[in-house]
Protein backbone atom coordinates (compact mmCIF):
# COMPACT_ATOMS: atom_id res chain seq x y z
CA UNK A 1 0.00 0.00 0.00
CA UNK A 2 1.58 3.35 -1.00
CA UNK A 3 2.12 5.98 1.66
CA UNK A 4 -0.25 8.92 1.27
CA UNK A 5 1.29 12.27 2.22
CA UNK A 6 -1.05 15.11 3.12
CA UNK A 7 0.00 18.48 1.71
CA UNK A 8 -1.89 20.95 3.91
CA UNK A 9 -2.76 24.58 3.26
CA UNK A 10 -0.83 27.09 5.36
CA UNK A 11 -2.23 30.15 7.00
CA UNK A 12 -1.53 32.35 9.99
CA UNK A 13 -4.22 32.50 12.64
CA UNK A 14 -4.53 35.43 15.05
CA UNK A 15 -2.95 35.10 18.46
CA UNK A 16 -6.06 36.48 20.24
CA UNK A 17 -7.13 32.99 21.36
CA UNK A 18 -3.64 32.31 22.68
CA UNK A 19 -3.75 35.65 24.49
CA UNK A 20 -7.08 34.81 26.10
CA UNK A 21 -5.92 31.34 27.15
CA UNK A 22 -2.49 32.19 28.49
CA UNK A 23 -2.67 35.83 29.57
CA UNK A 24 -0.10 38.56 29.07
CA UNK A 25 2.76 36.19 28.22
CA UNK A 26 1.08 35.51 24.87
CA UNK A 27 1.38 39.16 23.84
CA UNK A 28 4.63 38.09 22.23
CA UNK A 29 3.37 35.00 20.40
CA UNK A 30 1.68 34.07 17.17
CA UNK A 31 0.26 30.71 16.11
CA UNK A 32 1.41 29.42 12.72
CA UNK A 33 -0.31 26.43 11.17
CA UNK A 34 -0.85 24.16 8.24
CA UNK A 35 -4.11 22.21 7.96
CA UNK A 36 -3.22 19.80 10.76
CA UNK A 37 0.00 21.11 12.35
CA UNK A 38 0.40 24.21 14.52
CA UNK A 39 3.13 25.87 16.54
CA UNK A 40 3.25 28.97 18.73
CA UNK A 41 6.19 31.19 17.84
CA UNK A 42 7.48 34.52 19.13
CA UNK A 43 6.13 37.66 17.49
CA UNK A 44 8.65 39.56 15.42
CA UNK A 45 8.75 36.88 12.73
CA UNK A 46 7.17 37.27 9.31
CA UNK A 47 6.24 34.50 6.93
CA UNK A 48 8.31 34.00 3.80
CA UNK A 49 6.12 33.01 0.84
CA UNK A 50 6.60 29.41 -0.26
CA UNK A 51 5.01 27.35 -3.00
CA UNK A 52 5.36 24.30 -0.73
CA UNK A 53 2.13 24.25 1.28
CA UNK A 54 3.54 21.83 3.87
CA UNK A 55 6.33 24.27 4.72
CA UNK A 56 6.26 27.28 7.03
CA UNK A 57 9.18 29.68 6.60
CA UNK A 58 9.70 32.55 9.01
CA UNK A 59 12.32 35.26 9.29
CA UNK A 60 13.03 37.84 11.97
CA UNK A 61 14.45 41.34 11.73
CA UNK A 62 17.49 40.05 13.65
CA UNK A 63 18.29 37.67 10.78
CA UNK A 64 17.04 34.41 12.29
CA UNK A 65 15.44 32.09 9.77
CA UNK A 66 13.07 29.26 10.65
CA UNK A 67 11.89 26.50 8.33
CA UNK A 68 9.25 24.01 9.42
CA UNK A 69 8.31 21.14 7.13
CA UNK A 70 5.24 19.16 8.17
CA UNK A 71 4.70 15.63 6.85
CA UNK A 72 1.24 14.29 7.52
CA UNK A 73 -0.46 11.08 6.41
CA UNK A 74 -3.83 9.36 6.49
CA UNK A 75 -2.72 5.99 7.77
CA UNK A 76 -5.11 4.25 10.12
CA UNK A 77 -3.74 0.73 10.62
CA UNK A 78 -1.58 0.43 13.73
CA UNK A 79 1.13 -1.49 11.88
CA UNK A 80 1.33 1.20 9.16
CA UNK A 81 1.56 3.95 11.78
CA UNK A 82 4.31 2.02 13.57
CA UNK A 83 6.25 1.61 10.30
CA UNK A 84 6.08 5.34 9.53
CA UNK A 85 7.15 6.23 13.09
CA UNK A 86 10.09 3.81 12.77
CA UNK A 87 11.02 5.42 9.44
CA UNK A 88 11.14 8.92 10.95
CA UNK A 89 12.87 7.73 14.12
CA UNK A 90 15.58 6.24 11.88
CA UNK A 91 15.75 9.59 10.05
CA UNK A 92 16.17 11.44 13.35
CA UNK A 93 18.82 9.01 14.55
CA UNK A 94 20.83 8.61 11.33
CA UNK A 95 20.20 11.58 9.05
CA UNK A 96 19.75 14.54 11.40
CA UNK A 97 23.39 14.37 12.59
CA UNK A 98 24.58 14.22 8.96
CA UNK A 99 22.49 17.27 8.14
CA UNK A 100 23.94 19.26 11.05
CA UNK A 101 27.51 18.22 10.16
CA UNK A 102 27.10 19.59 6.63
CA UNK A 103 26.78 23.13 7.97
CA UNK A 104 29.27 23.28 10.83
CA UNK A 105 30.69 21.59 13.88
CA UNK A 106 28.18 19.75 16.04
CA UNK A 107 28.34 21.47 19.44
CA UNK A 108 25.22 20.03 21.07
CA UNK A 109 25.04 16.31 20.29
CA UNK A 110 21.98 14.45 19.10
CA UNK A 111 19.38 14.16 21.84
CA UNK A 112 16.31 11.92 21.75
CA UNK A 113 13.43 12.64 24.11
CA UNK A 114 10.23 10.68 24.66
CA UNK A 115 7.67 13.25 25.81
CA UNK A 116 4.60 12.52 27.94
CA UNK A 117 2.39 13.39 24.96
CA UNK A 118 3.77 10.42 23.01
CA UNK A 119 5.98 12.67 20.88
CA UNK A 120 9.50 11.57 20.05
CA UNK A 121 11.69 14.66 19.74
CA UNK A 122 15.20 14.73 18.30
CA UNK A 123 17.45 17.78 18.55
CA UNK A 124 21.01 18.66 17.57
CA UNK A 125 22.93 21.93 17.10
CA UNK A 126 25.86 23.01 14.98
CA UNK A 127 28.05 26.10 14.93
CA UNK A 128 30.05 27.48 12.04
CA UNK A 129 32.68 29.45 13.92
CA UNK A 130 34.23 31.10 10.85
CA UNK A 131 30.85 32.65 9.94
CA UNK A 132 29.62 32.90 13.56
CA UNK A 133 26.39 31.18 12.50
CA UNK A 134 24.38 28.47 14.22
CA UNK A 135 21.88 25.86 13.18
CA UNK A 136 19.38 24.13 15.46
CA UNK A 137 17.71 21.04 14.03
CA UNK A 138 14.61 19.38 15.50
CA UNK A 139 12.51 16.43 14.37
CA UNK A 140 9.11 16.21 16.10
CA UNK A 141 7.36 12.83 15.61
CA UNK A 142 3.81 12.53 16.95
CA UNK A 143 2.39 9.37 18.49
CA UNK A 144 0.58 8.81 15.17
CA UNK A 145 3.77 9.23 13.12
CA UNK A 146 3.07 12.72 11.80
CA UNK A 147 6.41 14.46 11.60
CA UNK A 148 7.78 17.98 11.46
CA UNK A 149 11.36 19.01 10.86
CA UNK A 150 12.20 22.42 12.32
CA UNK A 151 15.43 24.21 11.41
CA UNK A 152 16.47 27.48 13.08
CA UNK A 153 19.47 29.40 11.69
CA UNK A 154 21.06 32.65 12.75
CA UNK A 155 24.08 34.60 13.96
CA UNK A 156 25.84 33.65 17.18
CA UNK A 157 26.35 30.54 19.26
CA UNK A 158 23.67 27.84 19.55
CA UNK A 159 24.39 27.36 23.25
CA UNK A 160 23.06 30.90 23.83
CA UNK A 161 19.69 30.33 22.15
CA UNK A 162 18.83 26.64 22.19
CA UNK A 163 16.77 26.78 25.42
CA UNK A 164 14.49 29.54 24.13
CA UNK A 165 13.87 27.80 20.79
CA UNK A 166 13.36 24.44 22.54
CA UNK A 167 10.48 26.03 24.50
CA UNK A 168 8.88 27.11 21.22
CA UNK A 169 9.29 23.62 19.75
CA UNK A 170 7.42 22.29 22.79
CA UNK A 171 4.30 24.09 21.52
CA UNK A 172 4.20 22.04 18.28
CA UNK A 173 0.93 20.13 17.88
CA UNK A 174 -0.69 17.85 15.33
CA UNK A 175 -4.49 17.65 15.16
CA UNK A 176 -4.87 13.89 15.60
Mean residue pLDDT of the chain comes to: 83
Q: In the chain, what are the domains?
A: 5-174 (3.40.1000.10)
HEC string for 9-59: CCEEECCHHHHHHHHHHHHHEEEEECCCEEEEEECCEEECCCCCCCEEEEE
Band the pLDDT of 28: cuts 50, 70, 90. Answer: low
pLDDT, one tens digit per residue, over 128-156 is 999 999 999 999 999 999 999 999 999 99
Burial class for 10, CB neighbours closer than 10 Å (0-12, 13-18, 19+): buried
Residue 60 has pLDDT above 60, yes or no: yes
> What is the number of alpha carbons within 13 Å of residue 152 lying toward its C-beta?
26
Band the pLDDT of 157: cuts 50, 70, 90. Answer: very high
Amino acid sequence: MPLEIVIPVQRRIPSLLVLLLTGAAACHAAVWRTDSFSITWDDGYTQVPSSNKSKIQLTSTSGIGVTMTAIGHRLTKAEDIQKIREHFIKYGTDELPKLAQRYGTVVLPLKREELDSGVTLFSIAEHNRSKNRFGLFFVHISAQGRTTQIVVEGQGRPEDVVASFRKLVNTARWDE
